[in-house]
Structures are given as structure tokens and as C-alpha cells.
Amino acid sequence: MSDGFSARPPPEGRLLRSRGRVENPSHIMIREATEADVPLILQFIRDLADYERLADRVVATEEMLRRTLFGSPRFAEVLIAEEDGAPAGFALFFHNYSTFLGQPGIYLEDLFVREEMRGRGIGKGLLARLARIARERGCGRVEWAVLDWNAPSIAFYRSIGAIGLDDWMIMRLTGDALDTLGSSS
């Protein structure tokens, strides 16, 4: 497809080492989500929120996801990972821009792999696909946030070459503060 997505599984017989086990990635497929995946995407979001101890903050609905992910304009994109045809995880991302680089970038909002399917190369596969998309689209970087207590994820991200930006703090404007500022002159 012209948008950088493809459903090409890795070559048959290629083996990866993952946490001491040999895994055959030919059983893992990463594909672009379709509108029919909205219920699955919402379930992944809820599963991620449970893992991050933030389940009470999920207010997204299927209709909201349908409108923002598959409407016009599309505000974000989603990759779905499947292992042997079973949904295994997802990555939700959107473009940002770096004035310093003078290039677009990709912000990875969510990356989640079901607990029982971790350690099989699925997360790395999702990130590798996202890196290929970034390169195909002329992006200068891929960025994301991780909770500071999430040691397994931090270790995984470092293992693939990601670095933490300790000198930056994420700021957020939401709810009443967003409304108040948005209505001021």
C-alpha cells in the first residue's frame, strides 16, 4: 500500500532469540487496523489502562474511536499484531513535528502486547514496523512516554536502542483547564 503499511510477514524459517527462547516470527503478522477493528482497539486500550493502573480514566467509546481513527480527518493510525491469527497487541501513533530537525516525526501514544503473548518478539515487531513507516515517510524520529515505574518496558526500550530524556517533563492541559484557557482571549 502507498501509505507505508504492508502485511508482509518475515521470511519463513527465520528465527529470533527472545528472552532465551527461539521464536519463529513467521507466525506474527502486523497489519494496518481497519474500522472493523474498533472493538478490538478499544479492548486493547482498556487492557493497557488496567496494566498501567489507570482503568478509571478510560472514557473512549467505539464511536469516538471510529470517528477519530477512521473519519475525516484521521487523527491517528493503528497497527494490529496477530500471532497465528489471534490478536496479540497494538500500536497507536500519529505525526508530530520537530522544528529543530525540520522534519515530521511519529509519536507512539500506545504500545501494548497481551500479557500471555509477551516475550515473543511482538512488541519489537510493532516498533520495527513503526520505524520502517517513519523512514518511509521521511520522519526524523519516533518518540513515546513510559511510566517511570514500568521497569520491564523501560528495559525493553533500552534494549532496542531507545534513550530516556531525563531533562524533559511531559506537560498536559486537559479538562477544565483546557476549557478555561480555550475560552480566554
Picking from 86, 84, 77, the residue whose alpha carbon sits closest to that of residue 129 is 77
177 is written with which cell numbers?
483547564
Is 97 annotated in the active site? Answer: no
Under DSSP, is residue 15 helix (H, G, I), strand (E, B) or coil? coil
User: Based on the number of CB atoms within 10 Å of its own CB, is 37 exposed (0-12), middle (13-18) or buried (19 or more)?
Assistant: buried
Picking from 165, 122, 134, 138, the residue whose alpha carbon sits closest to that of residue 9 is 122
Among the options 51, 97, 107, 157, which is catalytic?
157
| CA separation, residue 134 to residues 15, 42, 173 (Å) | 25, 24, 27
Q: Which residues does the annotation mark as catalytic?
A: 157
